[in-house]
């Protein structure tokens, strides 16, 4: 089975032999790749029944649960990398997720859609209605994405969470690495991005 | 081969002597036991590669007769709803093995068996047993059947405890272990309930230090009370409310007879009648001494207290599935969470899910669809990788 292109980008940011915690892991495709082909270990957290069964069928370790309730069971520095792939915009408390990410791992990988993309801005400006796109197809009242933000918004939260951006890969509309304008001005031209984050060494940060 | 999905038909309990005088079972305590006979049932067909074995471990009061029937098709095994063609424990695919536990009273050597040294039943002279000893006998049974390793070990409650112990003791032997509403360590409250059950049995005037087998009756009152107490912990409050509410056995019953005031304290509410029935029905099939040995064995179970376990976890090949039920208050979800944390922290692949069910601890014996689908998916993944 081929891995979704953005998940392949995420996988490439994770070193072999890493201990990985994938929050909102869906059907476990990313963990399957990491465990099967990159000698990683770890587990996923997934709320949906479909996702849970998908993981179980693949043999990917999964705990059914709600990321918004925090990771109180997980110890400080228990894993090497925490992944939030297309998850953070669906959480009630994204800031809690980043804080927990920072607590339990040195590194974090986050991918998210960019609500600052020019097409969405234009749609809001011209139509005066909440925009939809191939990545964000739902109406405002039925979307699971309750905390949409622009890449710049997200980067502000990263800074406030005591994390540093090590790498940022802009994505195009087909979830692949974007080039050209999207690389130069991602907040305006990228459909989304994958971030590689690291915990600040500054112990005074939260 | 095509079979219609549905229940198993006629099945048979088999017996085999696994340990004899010359080659006794050496218990974890160092004591020796022989002979050890085991009653067991099997369902399905062993594959030529002998790699499709699902080993079932029963709980405190179970037996070898997990599925199918022994002649009367309305009287079915205790886990019949999950076992059979097309069911989660699919007998078209898997070779299912279910023995009565060591120390039991349904065909396997236990306190009611004859002690060869005295020619009389062991009673309390039966050696103390641990979950490790149960696993040792399970492995001997597989070996007798010409099977090197199970594909999966599956059990609820005490059954799950055996699955855990098996994987921890033989880290390269068990590809999959599924533990349903199990625990790695009883809480003080759990032990308190065990204690009440044991006191009820041992204080019964007919207990006679465990030597009651040649008496007209054994500690029936105590055993029935033990069962009644345990049954309260197997159901949730919600389940009791749904099942019985405050309904009366006989709402038209007359007011108490002044000449027989004690009649006022006989069974009045339906829940009382239910518990009394559970207690009495238990007497026909269970041995009071087995109850003592098993409940004590569960109290003492604590595999993660053994520091060597963490060394063995590094080589563990087992994938675990933990399932709990949200209304289970005997072994609530926190028990499964503790196991998940212990294993995941050591890098062991473990999946966990709490399932909604109003039926409390008893849920593991019932047909809860999400629970059955979870077990099905887990076994299927092991089968495809076997």
User: What's the number of domains chain A is made of?
Assistant: 1
Kindly tell me if the per-residue pLDDT of B340 is higher than 70.
Answer: yes
Q: Give the number of residues written for chain A.
A: 206
User: Which stretch of A192-206, B134-148, B210-224, B312-326 has the lowest confidence by average pLDDT?
Assistant: A192-206
In this structure, is residue A125 part of a structural domain? Answer: no
Q: Are strands B36-43 and B14-19 parallel, antiparallel or unpaired?
A: antiparallel
| Residues of B whose CB is below 8 A from A63 | 340, 351-353
In this structure, is residue A134 part of a structural domain? Answer: no
Kindly tell me if the per-residue pLDDT of A3 is higher than 50.
Answer: yes
Angstrom distance (rounded) from CA B49 to CA B205: 55
Per annotation, catalytic residue among B90, B169, B204, B328? B328
Give pLDDT, residue A133.
86
Chain A positions with Cβ closer than 8 Å to B: 19, 41, 43, 49, 52-53, 55-64, 73, 75, 78
Find, among A110, A76, A55, A189, the residue nearest to B381 by Cα: A55
The widest CA-to-CA distance across chain A, in whole angstroms, is 50
In this structure, is residue A19 part of a structural domain? Answer: yes
Check: CB of residue B36 under 8 Å from CB of residue B102. Answer: yes
Give pLDDT, residue B264.
85
pLDDT, tens only, B63-73: 999 999 999 99
Kindly tell me if the per-residue pLDDT of A75 is higher than 60.
Answer: yes
Give pLDDT, residue B29.
97
Give pLDDT, residue B253.
74
DSSP string covering A39-77: --EEEEEE-SHHHHHHHHHHT--EEE--GGG--TTSPTT
In this structure, is residue A141 part of a structural domain? Answer: no
Q: Percent of chain B having pLDDT more than 90? A: 91
Kindly tell me if the per-residue pLDDT of B22 is higher than 70.
Answer: yes
Nearest Cβ partner of B381 from A43, A58, A75? A58
The model's confidence at residue A177, banded by pLDDT at 50, 70 and 90, is very high
| Residues of B whose CB is below 8 A from A73 | 337, 340-341
Kindly tell me if the per-residue pLDDT of B82 is higher than 80.
Answer: yes
pLDDT, tens only, A149-163: 999 999 999 999 999
In this structure, is residue A150 part of a structural domain? Answer: yes
- With b for 16 or more beta-carbon neighbours within 10 A and e for fewer, the B251-284 pattern comes to eeeeeeeeeeeeeeeeeeebbbbbbeebbeebbe
Kindly tell me if the per-residue pLDDT of B227 is higher than 50.
Answer: yes
User: Which stretch of B15-19, B238-242, B258-262 has the lowest confidence by average pLDDT?
Assistant: B258-262
Give pLDDT, residue A1.
62
DSSP run (H or E) holding A119: helix A118-127
In this structure, is residue A138 part of a structural domain? Answer: no
pLDDT, tens only, B348-368: 999 999 999 999 999 999 999
In this structure, is residue A131 part of a structural domain? Answer: no
Q: Are strands B36-43 and A19-23 parallel, antiparallel or unpaired?
A: unpaired
Per annotation, catalytic residue among B113, B157, B295, B357? B157
> pTM score, two decimals?
0.94
- A32 to chain B: closest CA residue: B349
| Average pLDDT value for chain B | 95
- The residue with greater pLDDT, A34 or B1, is A34
Confirm whether the ipTM is greater than 0.85: yes
Kindly tell me if the per-residue pLDDT of B17 is higher than 70.
Answer: yes
| Residues of A whose CB is below 8 A from B319 | 59, 61
Average pLDDT of span A141-150: 95
In this structure, is residue A37 part of a structural domain? Answer: yes
Kindly tell me if the per-residue pLDDT of B4 is higher than 60.
Answer: no
Find, among B358, B354, B349, B384, the residue nearest to B371 by Cα: B354
Kindly tell me if the per-residue pLDDT of B112 is higher than 80.
Answer: yes
Annotated active-site residue B250? The verdict is no
pLDDT, tens only, A42-73: 999 999 999 999 999 999 999 999 999 888 88
Q: For residue A160, what are the domain limits?
A: 5-115+146-198
Q: Touching check for B341 and chain A: CB below 8 Å?
A: yes
- B345 to chain A: closest CA residue: A78
CA distance B121 to chain A (A): 47
CATH number assigned to the domain comprising residue A39: 3.40.50.150
Give pLDDT, residue A202.
62
Q: Which of residues 103-132 of B touch A (CB under 8 A)?
A: none
| Residues of A whose CB is below 8 A from B321 | 56
Give pLDDT, residue B2.
44
Annotated active-site residue B263? The verdict is no
Give pLDDT, residue B333.
97
Average pLDDT of span B309-322: 94
Phi and psi of B166, rounded to 5°?
-60, -50
The model's confidence at residue A204, banded by pLDDT at 50, 70 and 90, is low
Kindly tell me if the per-residue pLDDT of A178 is higher than 70.
Answer: yes
Q: Touching check for B372 and chain A: CB below 8 Å?
A: no
* Residues forming beta bridges with residue A81, ordered by sequence position: A20, A107
The model's confidence at residue B274, banded by pLDDT at 50, 70 and 90, is very high
Q: Say which residues have a Cβ less than 8 Å from residue A37's Cβ, sequence separation at least 6.
A: none
* Residues forming beta bridges with residue B120, ordered by sequence position: B115
Other CB atoms within 10 A of residue A165 CB: 15
Q: Touching check for B377 and chain A: CB below 8 Å?
A: yes
Could B345 and A61 be called an inter-chain contact, meaning their C-beta atoms sit closer than 8 Å? no
Phi and psi of A122, rounded to 5°?
-65, -40
- A44 to chain B: closest CA residue: B351
Give pLDDT, residue B5.
61
DSSP run (H or E) holding A156: helix A151-160
User: What is the SS3 string spanning chain B?
Assistant: CCCCCCCCCECCCEEEEEEECCECEECCCCCEECCEEEEEEEECCCCCCCCCEEEEECCCCCCCCCCCECCCCCCECCCHHHEECCCCEECCCCEEEEECCCCCCCCCCCCCCEECCCCEECHHHCCCCCHHHHHHHHHHHHHHCCCCCCCEEEEECHHHHHHHHHHHHCCCCCCEEEEECCCCCCCHHHHHHHHHHHHHHHCCCCCHHHCCCCCCCCCHHHHHHHHHHHHHHHCCHHHHHHHCCCCECCCCCCCCCCCCHHHHHCCCEHHHHHHHHHHHHHHCCCCHHHHHHHHHHHHHCCHHHCCHHHHHHCCCCCEEEEEEECCCCCCCHHHHHHHHHHHHHCCCCEEEEEECCCCHHHHHHCCCHHHHHHHHHHHHHHHHHC
């Amino acid at each position: 089975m081929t891995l979704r292109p953005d998940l392949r980008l995420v996988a490439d940011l994770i070193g072999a032999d890493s201990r990985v915690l994938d929050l909102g892991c869906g059907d476990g495709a990313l963990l399957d790749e990491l465990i099967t082909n990159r000698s990683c270990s770890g587990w996923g957290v997934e709320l949906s029944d479909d996702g849970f069964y998908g993981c179980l069928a693949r043999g990917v370790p999964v705990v059914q649960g709600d990321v918004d309730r925090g990771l109180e069971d997980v110890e400080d520095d228990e894993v090497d990398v925490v992944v939030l792939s297309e998850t953070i915009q669906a959480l009630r408390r994204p800031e809690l997720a980043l804080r927990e990410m920072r607590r339990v791992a040195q590194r974090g990988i986050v991918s998210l859609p960019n609500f600052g993309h020019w097409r969405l801005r234009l749609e809001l400006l011209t139509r005066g209605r909440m925009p939809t796109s191939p990545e964000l197809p739902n109406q405002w009242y039925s979307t699971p994405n309750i905390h949409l933000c622009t890449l710049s918004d997200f980067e502000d939260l990263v800074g406030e969470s005591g994390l540093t951006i090590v790498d940022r890969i802009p994505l195009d509309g087909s979830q692949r690495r974007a080039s050209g304008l999207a690389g130069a001005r991602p907040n305006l031209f990228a459909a989304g991005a994958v971030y590689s984050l690291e915990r600040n060494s500054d112990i005074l940060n939260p | 081969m095509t079979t219609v999905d549905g229940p198993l038909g006629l099945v048979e309990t088999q017996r085999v002597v696994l340990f004899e005088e010359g080659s006794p079972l050496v218990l974890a305590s160092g004591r020796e036991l022989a002979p050890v006979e085991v009653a067991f049932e099997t369902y399905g067909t062993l594959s030529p590669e002998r790699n499709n074995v699902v080993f079932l471990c029963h709980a405190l009061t179970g037996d070898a007769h997990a599925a199918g029937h022994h002649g009367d098709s309305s009287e079915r095994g205790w886990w019949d709803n999950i076992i059979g063609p097309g069911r989660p424990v699919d007998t078209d695919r898997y070779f299912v093995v279910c023995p009565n536990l060591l120390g039991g009273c349904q065909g396997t050597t236990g306190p009611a068996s004859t002690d060869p040294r005295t020619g009389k039943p062991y009673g309390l002279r039966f050696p103390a047993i641990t979950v490790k000893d149960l696993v040792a006998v399970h492995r001997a049974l597989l070996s007798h059947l010409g099977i090197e390793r199970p594909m999966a070990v599956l059990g609820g409650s005490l059954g799950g405890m055996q699955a855990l112990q098996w994987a921890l003791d033989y880290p390269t032997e068990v590809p999959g272990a599924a533990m349903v509403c199990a625990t790695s360590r009883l809480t003080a409250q759990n032990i308190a309930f065990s204690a009440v059950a044991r006191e009820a049995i041992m204080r019964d005037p007919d207990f006679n230090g465990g030597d009651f087998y040649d008496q007209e009756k054994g500690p029936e009152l105590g055993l029935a009370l033990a069962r009644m107490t345990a049954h309260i912990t197997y159901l949730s409050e919600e389940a009791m409310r749904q099942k019985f509410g405050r309904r009366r056995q006989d709402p038209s019953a007359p007011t108490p007879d002044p000449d027989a005031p004690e009649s006022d304290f006989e069974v009045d509410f339906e829940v009382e009648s239910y518990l009394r029935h559970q207690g009495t029905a238990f007497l026909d099939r269970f041995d009071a001494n087995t109850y003592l040995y098993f409940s004590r064995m569960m109290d003492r179970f604590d595999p993660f207290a053994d520091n060597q376990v963490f060394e063995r976890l590094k080589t563990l090949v087992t994938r675990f599935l933990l399932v709990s039920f949200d209304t289970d208050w005997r072994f609530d979800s926190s028990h499964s969470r503790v196991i998940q944390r212990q294993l995941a922290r050591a890098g062991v692949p473990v999946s966990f899910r709490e399932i909604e069910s109003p039926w409390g601890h008893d849920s593991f014996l019932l047909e809860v669809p999400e629970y059955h689908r979870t077990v099905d998916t887990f076994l299927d993944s092991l089968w495809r990788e076997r």
